[in-house]
Amino acid sequence: MKTFKKDFLWGGAIAANQAEGAYLEDGKGINVTDVSRGLVYEPDEKVIDGKFYPTHEAIDFYHTYKEDLKLMSGMGFNCFRTSISWARIFPHGDENEPNEAGLKFYDDLFNEMNELGMEPIVTISHYETPLHLYDEYGGWENRKLIEFFTRYCKVIFQRYKDQVRYWMTFNEINNVHTIPFAAGAIKPEKTDHSMQCRFQAAHNMFVASSKANKLCHEIIPEAKIGCMLSLSGIYPHTCKPEDVLGAYQLRRRSLFFSDVMMRGYYPSYANRWFEEHHVHLDIQPGDLEIIKEYPSDYLGFSYYRTTTYKDGMPILGHTGGLIGEKNPYLKETPWGWQIDPIGFRYVLNELYDRYQKPLFVVENGMGNVDVLEGDQIHDNYRIDYLRSHIQQMKEAVADGVDLMGYTYWGPIDIVSAGTGEMKKRYGFIYVDRDNDGKGTGKRYKKDSYEWYKKVIESNGEELDD
């Protein structure tokens, strides 16, 4: 049957660093994304006085969350995904005692969600490693971060055990390969051995994630804790065998992360990578055992588009996924992200066939240029994107995929992670703020707001205009 479960989770997703603003308020420290204009740009070593960083104010969700969550509730959200800014809880990341003001903010935020009937879906680290952990320790290449992360997780699990039942450890952990500073607080280009740096950071994050899984199940037995990856799709550019094999091997570079975190062990194909790239991981006694014993409960992932791989091309990527050759059969957004709803169904089946564990689509959406006409925004292009993707998501459910929920990325306009723009808008709710941080901050409902409300009310059955 092409229907969603009765308890299907419908909602939207944001990240603390792209929405909250208030970047030093109430004792918050500096995270790695606080020194970046956007992830496509080279980050600064520190915050430069007088330089504009769009995330420092963002959309001021720190102060407007009650108003904003009420708007989400108006669409019928039964869940809402956000992240906890690590540096709000431990400003440097390595303290022994947490910052009470930061803990109090998330108390209030999660209480507000619960009162509105929304399950908080919480990412523990969404490109938000405290900058001090890079400056002092070199980021996730250093095993000491396992201890710091575990301490952080213990504090938030104990504090929010009655408020939060769904967790994810690291956002898009596989982007340690493509945007390593944001994902892993590392700069491999500054080391003598780039691949060693990336894989060692990944290993340490795997151990930390499994330790977090263990803590979560001990402190909140009824909770579910998953991993989260960027898994937009990849096709061979042609049927040339080298393109086909190359695309397969490239896909493994992402699935390697979920293979370890979902299955609980290193896949055999990784041995060849390590040998060819002269990678020698520092694996301490007990590491492989805890990875094996405490895998992820579910796979959360982002899907925005597909790309194609041509033999010999350089491997690049950003928050939307890996970047390859254009597919001539697909249309694209104004930012060049190709729109492929059938690819969405393909990826859902690919992942469920591989793991046979529940999946959660925690990011999917389209960035576009929205024009405010009086107090209205007509965004039929967003409705078309959503309709086609939800239709294919239903097909995947009919195929047998066990799907937990769908949180559309950016239900309210926020700062783009990649480009730092406000002009690149995803939301059902328009925020009057421009790329330079100017504007009233006033919120306006777009046409897609009422459309998504009907989808949720009908549990995905009503997809017409």
CB 161 within 8 A of CB 220: yes
CB 432 within 8 A of CB 440: yes
DSSP for 429-449 reads EEE---TTS-S---EEE-HHH
**What phi, psi does 107 have (nearest 5°)?**
-55, -50
Q: Report the relative pairing of strands 429-431 and 443-445 from DSSP bridges.
A: antiparallel
The tally of CA atoms less than 13 A away on the side-chain side of residue 209 is: 34
CB 210 within 8 A of CB 291: yes
**Rounded to a whole number, what is the largest CA-CA distance in the chain?**
63
CA 315 from chain center: how many Å? 20
C-alpha closest to that of 385 among 323, 319, 446: 446
CB 348 within 8 A of CB 393: yes
CA distance readout (Å), 277 to 2, 256, 438: 45, 16, 47
Is residue 408 classed as helix, strand or coil in its secondary structure? strand
Query: What is the C-alpha to C-alpha distance for residues 163 and 165, in angstroms, rounded to an integer?
Result: 7
Which two structure tokens, joined as six digits, stand for 158? 């104990």
Q: Provide the H-helix boundaries in 283-370.
A: 287-293, 341-355
Does residue 363 carry a catalytic annotation?
yes
Choice among 363, 373, 395, 421 that is catalytic:
363
- Name the DSSP letter for residue 174: G
CB 131 within 8 A of CB 31: yes
**Annotated active-site positions, please?**
363
